[in-house]
Amino acid sequence: MNDVEENCRRVVERIHTAAARSGRSGEAVRLIAVTKFVSPEKIRRAAALGITHIGENRLQEALTKRDSLRDLDLTWHFIGHLQTNKARKVIENFDWIQSVDRLDLAEKLDQQAHRRIPVLIEVKLHDEPSKSGMPAGELQDFLPRVTGLKNLEVRGFMAVPPYSDIAEESRPYFRRLRELGVLFGLPELSMGMSHDFEIAIEEGATMVRIGTALFGSRQSTP
């Protein structure tokens, strides 16, 4: 599992195969390498193979790594729970924000941005307690308010289904997210992680967020 190059090749191949099953090209699915607890050196090895979209969910850790990787042309996605008081730092250092899940955060991001920034709305598709994600039932009211903000460009949805060892159990959640995308006319769907990304792709994912399948298991969990 420590062979980053071999892992990267294998994941890319699996993405292409799953995309073909959904009648799409592998190019239609963007691989976001999730690099929490991953060293800059390993990120470089993935980048050398063309994996240049990076997902981080911990701001401070991301900033340190970003600094040591400045020479690379990477695209940074913020994918973690975001406190409103961190909005400015995230705007300054990330290219995409995938975890917009409430109005005060959206407004704060909009105020701090001095350019249009692509965002995804993180949707909560289950009833389990979790600190992030907007309940699907609230999107109808929420979306027009966010699309009205001048600097946020709402491109789609992101979701994390409840964890299950059985990947197939994620499928109904992925399907639900795709239906919401169709309903609201938003093209991007960020869904699927190491254990269930092929199912997410079959259900229409346009971005998959993959950590352990690329870099091996993490020392500690977030």
User: Is residue 34 near ligand PLP by the rule CB under 6 A?
Assistant: yes
Q: What is the Cα 96 distance to its own chain's centre?
A: 9
* From candidates 14, 126, 212, 216, binder to ligand PLP by CB under 6 A: 212
User: Is residue 134 near ligand PLP by the rule CB under 6 A?
Assistant: no
Closer Cβ to ligand PLP, 81 or 149, answer by number: 81
- Smallest distance from ligand PLP to CB 150, Å: 27
- Smallest distance from ligand PLP to CB 2, Å: 15
DSSP state of 161: P
Give the list of residues 6+ apart from residue 138 with CB closer than 8 angstroms, or none: none
Token digits of residue 153:
């460009």
d(CA 133, CA 135): 6
d(CA 193, CA 67): 26
Site string for ligand PLP, 167-206 (x = CB under 6 A): --------------------------xx------------
* From candidates 31, 33, 36, 106, binder to ligand PLP by CB under 6 A: 36
Residue 119 pairs in a beta bridge with 97, 154
Give the list of residues 6+ apart from residue 152 with CB closer than 8 angstroms, or none: 100, 106, 109, 110, 113, 116, 117, 119, 146
Degrees to nearest 5, angle at CA 21 with 19 and 25: 35
Closer Cβ to ligand PLP, 79 or 82, answer by number: 79
* From candidates 53, 65, 66, 209, binder to ligand PLP by CB under 6 A: 209
* From candidates 79, 121, 154, 200, binder to ligand PLP by CB under 6 A: 79
Residues at the interface with ligand PLP (CB under 6 A): 34, 36, 57, 79, 160, 193-194, 209-213
